[in-house]
Each structure stands twice: as C-alpha cells, then as structure tokens.
Amino acid sequence: MARLHFFDLDGTLLHGSTAPVEISRQLGLETQTMELDRAISAGRIDPPEYAARVYDLWSELTEAHVAAAFDGAPWLARIRDVWAEIRESGDYCAVISLSPSFFVERLLDWGAHAAFGSRFPAVPFAEPVDPAGVLSAAAKVTIADRLCERLGVVRADCVAYGDSMSDRDLFAAVPVSVAVNADGHLAGLATHSYTGRDL
C-alpha cells in the first residue's frame, strides 16, 4: 500500500519563517506580519482575521513580489530530493498550509502531488479575500481525508510533518508524525522529532 506524506509549510518546510512574512518582506512590511504571526500563534486572532489583515497589508502586491519571496525564502535543504524519492518509491506527498494558495501551489513544481492553501484572490488583488476559503487546523484533516480518498489510501497509511499548533489535529489523525523544528504545541504528540535545516 502506498503512503501519503503531508507537509506543513510555515516553520516546517520554511525554516524559522512563514510565507506571509517572506511575502511581506518584499514590501518592507515583515515587522507587521511577524506581529500577526505572534498573534495567531497565541490565539489572539483566528485564521480568517489573520488572512484579512495580511490581505490589507498586501494592497501593492504583484506576482514579481511573490516570485521573489518564494525564490528567496529560507527553505529546508533537499526538499525536491526527498519528494523525488517519495515519488520513486510509489508514495505520495502533499502540502497543506494555512498560507495563501498562490504561494503554496508553487510547490507543485518541486514535485508535490498536491498543494493546498487558504484561497486568496489572484495577484494583484482585484477582489477581497473570502473568509470561507481560509484554512484552519481542522480543515487540514478534512483536506487530508479527501486526498486520501482521491489517491486510494487511508489514514493508517499517512505521515504528517509539522511544527506548530496548526498541525495538532492532523498529528492526532494519522499514526505517524514528525515534528520538524517544532514549538511547544506539539510536545508529546509526535512519533519522531527533528531539529535542523535538511529535510
């Protein structure tokens, strides 16, 4: 039976950063976004409010900014190599992130079978962000179940990789989990733990 590997993005594949911070860095607004990251991590705001606030910060965002943010982000080493190995073994890999879909979906070009993020309008923005399209920790499990059904695997065949509170629900739903540079929210939940910069 094939296995399905679920990867978080922010703090997991991205070392010590998030996609919104890297995007905002291109606009000189990383300080404001880092404060929003702290607020959502502490539970002071929820994912829809976070999305609305970064959307407001990104009024001048262009596709060139997004490309520069992606290319310059602090990725873990050898992501593409690991995903190539997963594919060669007949397994699947997917990314599920609360970050904007227009950033997350770029990882399809690196070898992910699927990539899911919070639905934002196309860049440059000509319409508002829809709160109903913003993902949550619980939504990660729903997406994982749908992808399992699509690929013909079950939860027992899944592995989750993550670093923070947004990964707790998925860690609880699958039998094998890997805490990658994780914070205290995953303490005692992960099957394995890794600290470093090489996937």
For the segment 21-61, what is each residue's pLDDT rounded down to a tens digit? 999 999 999 999 999 999 998 899 999 999 999 999 999 99
**Rounded-to-integer distance, Cα 154 and Cα 173, Å:** 11
**Rounded-to-integer distance, Cα 140 and Cα 125, Å:** 25
Pick the closest to residue 174 from 185, 159, 188 (CA basis). 159
pLDDT in tens, 89-146: 999 999 999 999 999 999 999 999 999 999 999 999 999 999 999 999 999 999 999 9
Residue 109 buriedness (CB in 10 A; 0-12 / 13-18 / 19+) = exposed
pLDDT at position 185 is 78
**Residue 155 CA neighbour count, 13 Å, CB half:** 13
- Cα–Cα–Cα angle for 143, 149, 155, nearest 5°? 75
Q: For all residues of the chain together, what is the average pLDDT?
A: 96
pTM above 0.85, yes or no: yes
pLDDT in tens, 59-76: 999 999 999 999 999 999
Q: What is the mean pLDDT of residues 152-164?
A: 97
